[in-house]
Amino acid sequence: MKQIRSTIKLLRRSPYQALAAALAMSLTFFVASIFVIVIIGGQLVLRYIEQRPQIIAFFKDDTSEVQINEISKEIEKTGLVSQVKYVSKDEALAIYRERNKDDPLLLESVTADFLPASIDISINRAQDITQVASLVKNNQQVDKVITPENLVEQLVKWTQTIRFGGLIFVASLLSISFLIVIMVVGMRIAIRRDEISIMSLVGATKWYISRPFFMEGAIYGVIGATISVLLIYVFVLFYSPNIQNFLGPIQVFPIDPLFFVYLWVSEAFLAAFVGIIGAGIALYRYLKIN
Amino acid sequence: MLKFESVSKKFPNGQVALEDVNLEISDGEFVFIVGPSGAGKSTLLRLLTREVIPSGGRILVNEQDILKMPKSKVHLLRRKIGTIFQDFKLLLNRTVFENASIPLEVFGIKDAEIQKRVSEVLEKVGILEKAESFPAQLSGGELQRTAIARAIVSQPEILLADEPTGDLDPHNSRQVVEILEKINKEDKTTIIMATHNTSIVNHFKKRVITLKDGRVDKDQKEGKYEAD
């Protein structure tokens, strides 16, 4: 406790360096938090789309229910699909009526015979859409196949790119924060050279001398992570209605407040770790005790 | 007991600071190390705290060869030794009290005990009334008293004084050495003081070891020093 108090006292004596290090950390972790949320959001969007019937196959009029059942079984056998749902002509008519109930003109003279029977296929993994779609298309009884494959493929590509780009971007920011911590702690070692030499002379251990610097590194990290999570919380509160509007039925918000607690704890640990390692390198490089 | 056995020190630039120094200093002795600048006085003191490693020979502190001591144990050696310097080496952003309490803080002594021991020691060196002053508010003599307080607060067995009167006027110089003499007598602390202040050495009539070109030139029990 005494050690923490004296470290805080030291930080207050040269607040600008401390501020620079803490802000570099908070910027890094703010950007990291955005990427975490975007990646998690992307996963939710993907999962939502994956759970929808991604492929709808319409059958020719002369296809019997038995044939459709056989085709369904064949598709299920691939193991790539989670569900194959048969929609009969009557059910198709019911859906049609429901969708167009406000437009009686469209309902007139439409009978079940006009509408084709179909199957809705849900795929386990978005990547397998093309494979399943081509299998369905090859069947002679199938008249038409509708797939959102392009959308899903694009989404998968986007999330992968964001994940990769985010990783590189955050890694670069992390390196910068790391270097700033090394620089700031190095400067503080230089400023306190007299004190260090006196402490060493009166019999302080190397650990006793190094400890405040390690603690300083950890404090930069924890302050940085805290600022970043507070910022991201405000950011999410402010923008979530707009983003949710854009996403429509895909439920991403509101984010569970516990998520921010987990985010803070994990970022604080990671940032403190970065701070401690940075301080360690600075000490190794600049702390010379005879 | 301190013992130097054939100790020599040659710096990497080729300068020979000490050569074949053999010395024995008993517990509780007060010794002046004298000699011109560059004679090796400071090096001799710094060897004792292992700030400097000799090129050859052995140094024994209480029968223990300090050169064989692992680096991780050097702090234990330093806890037995107090040091004062010509330039005081006080921390300017700490008060007299805070400066004097540094060794006790390092040793992890509790605040109440620090308060008690530092007050006692400040009274002993006659600077208790300045306890809350900062070094910039003190005279040379007061600065050196603060440094002495810091050096003795942990009750070391040995006190090394490297030109402690170098920056002081004759009056303050004499007072500082009187304090050292008092510490020597009352606490039985071994005192080794490097100086080239002839009047001080000649006034206090202690053992005088004269160094010349890194060698022990003279070792007199109640010696005198006549600067060249």
* Cβ contacts of A257 within 8 Å, gap of 6 or more: none
Residue A246 has pLDDT above 90, yes or no: no
Residue B14 has pLDDT above 90, yes or no: no
Is A191 buried (19+), middle (13-18) or exposed (0-12) by CB count in 10 A? middle
Inter-chain touch A203–B103, beta carbons under 8 Å: yes
Span B202-207, average pLDDT: 90
Q: Residue A243 corresponds to which amino acid?
A: I
Q: Residue A200 corresponds to which amino acid?
A: S
Inter-chain touch B103–A205, beta carbons under 8 Å: no
DSSP strand pairing (B190-195 vs B30-34): parallel
Inter-chain touch A201–B83, beta carbons under 8 Å: yes
Residue A51 has pLDDT above 70, yes or no: no
Span B87-106, average pLDDT: 92
* SS3 sequence of chain B: CEEEEEEEEECCCCCEEEEEEEEEECCCCEEEEECCCCCCHHHHHHHHCCCCCCCEEEEEECCEECCCCCHHHHHHHHCCEEEEECCCCCCCCCCHHHHHHHHHHHHCCCHHHHHHHHHHHHHHCCCHHHCCCCHHHCCHHHHHHHHHHHHHCCCCCEEEEECCCCCCCHHHHHHHHHHHHHHHHHHCCEEEEEECCHHHHHHHCCEEEEEECCEEEEEECCCCCCCC
Q: Is the dihedral of CA A162, A166, A167, A172 positive or negative?
A: positive
Q: CB–CB of B105/B154 below 8 Å?
A: no
Closest CA to A87 of A103, A77, A98, A102: A98
CA-CA distance, A181 to B113, in Å (whole number)? 36
pLDDT of residue A279: 93
The tokens for A18 are 């401390």
Disruptive mutation site among B102, B106, B146 for chain A (greatest number of A CBs within 10 Å):
B106
Confidence of residue A52 (pLDDT cuts 50, 70, 90): low
Interface of A with B (CB under 8 A): 13, 194-195, 197-205, 208, 290
Nearest to B78 among A13, A194, A201 (CB): A201
Inter-chain touch A197–B89, beta carbons under 8 Å: yes
pLDDT of residue B127: 93
β-strand partners of B31:
B192, B207
* Chain A residues in contact with B78 (beta carbon < 8 A): 200-203
Q: In what order do the strands lie in the sheet with B190-195?
A: B81-85, B158-162, B190-195, B30-34, B207-212, B215-220
Residue B228 has pLDDT above 70, yes or no: no
* Cβ contacts of A199 within 8 Å, gap of 6 or more: A208, A209, B102, B106
Top-confidence residue, B192 or A245: B192
Inter-chain touch B91–A290, beta carbons under 8 Å: no
Which SS3 state, helix, strand or coil, does residue A29 take? helix
pLDDT of residue A149: 59
Q: Residue A218 corresponds to which amino acid?
A: A
pTM for the model:
0.72
Residue with tokens 């991780």: B72
Distance of CA A70 to the CA centre of its chain: 40
Inter-chain touch A202–B78, beta carbons under 8 Å: yes
Rg of chain A taking only CA atoms, in angstroms: 30
Distance of CA A72 to the CA centre of its chain: 35
d(CA B222, nearest CA chain A) in Å: 31
Residue B58 has pLDDT above 80, yes or no: yes
Nearest to A201 among B49, B76, B93 (CB): B49
Interface of B with A (CB under 8 A): 49-52, 72, 75-79, 82-83, 89, 91, 93, 102-103, 106-107, 150, 154
Nearest to B79 among A13, A197, A203 (CB): A203
Which SS3 state, helix, strand or coil, does residue A58 take? strand
For A211, which residue in chain B has the nearest alpha carbon? Answer: B106
Query: Hey, what domains does chain A have and what are their CATH numbers?
Result: 2-48+153-286 (no CATH), 53-147 (3.30.70.3040)
Nearest to A203 among B51, B75, B91 (CB): B75
Nearest to A198 among B89, B93, B107 (CB): B89
Residue B118 has pLDDT above 90, yes or no: yes
CA-CA distance, A233 to A36, in Å (whole number)? 13
What count of other Cβ atoms lies within 10 Å of the Cβ of residue A167? 13
pLDDT of residue A161: 86
ipTM: 0.85
pLDDT of residue B98: 93
Residue A167 has pLDDT above 90, yes or no: no
For A193, which residue in chain B has the nearest alpha carbon? Answer: B91
Residue A240 has pLDDT above 90, yes or no: no
Q: CB–CB of B114/B105 below 8 Å?
A: yes
Disruptive mutation site among B53, B75, B105 for chain A (greatest number of A CBs within 10 Å):
B75
Residue B181 has pLDDT above 70, yes or no: yes
* Chain B residues in contact with A1 (beta carbon < 8 A): none
Residue with tokens 């002369």: A62
Confidence of residue B179 (pLDDT cuts 50, 70, 90): very high
- C-alpha torsion angle, residues A44, A46, A50, A56 (rounded to 10): 130
Distance of CA A37 to the CA centre of its chain: 4
Inter-chain touch B89–A13, beta carbons under 8 Å: no
pLDDT digits (tens, 9 = 90+) for B141-150: 999 999 999 9
Nearest to A208 among B51, B89, B106 (CB): B106
Closest CA to A116 of A140, A91, A138, A137: A91
Span A258-286, average pLDDT: 92
* Chain A residues in contact with B93 (beta carbon < 8 A): 13
Query: Hey, what domains does chain B have and what are their CATH numbers?
Result: 1-80+156-228 (3.40.50.300), 90-155 (no CATH)
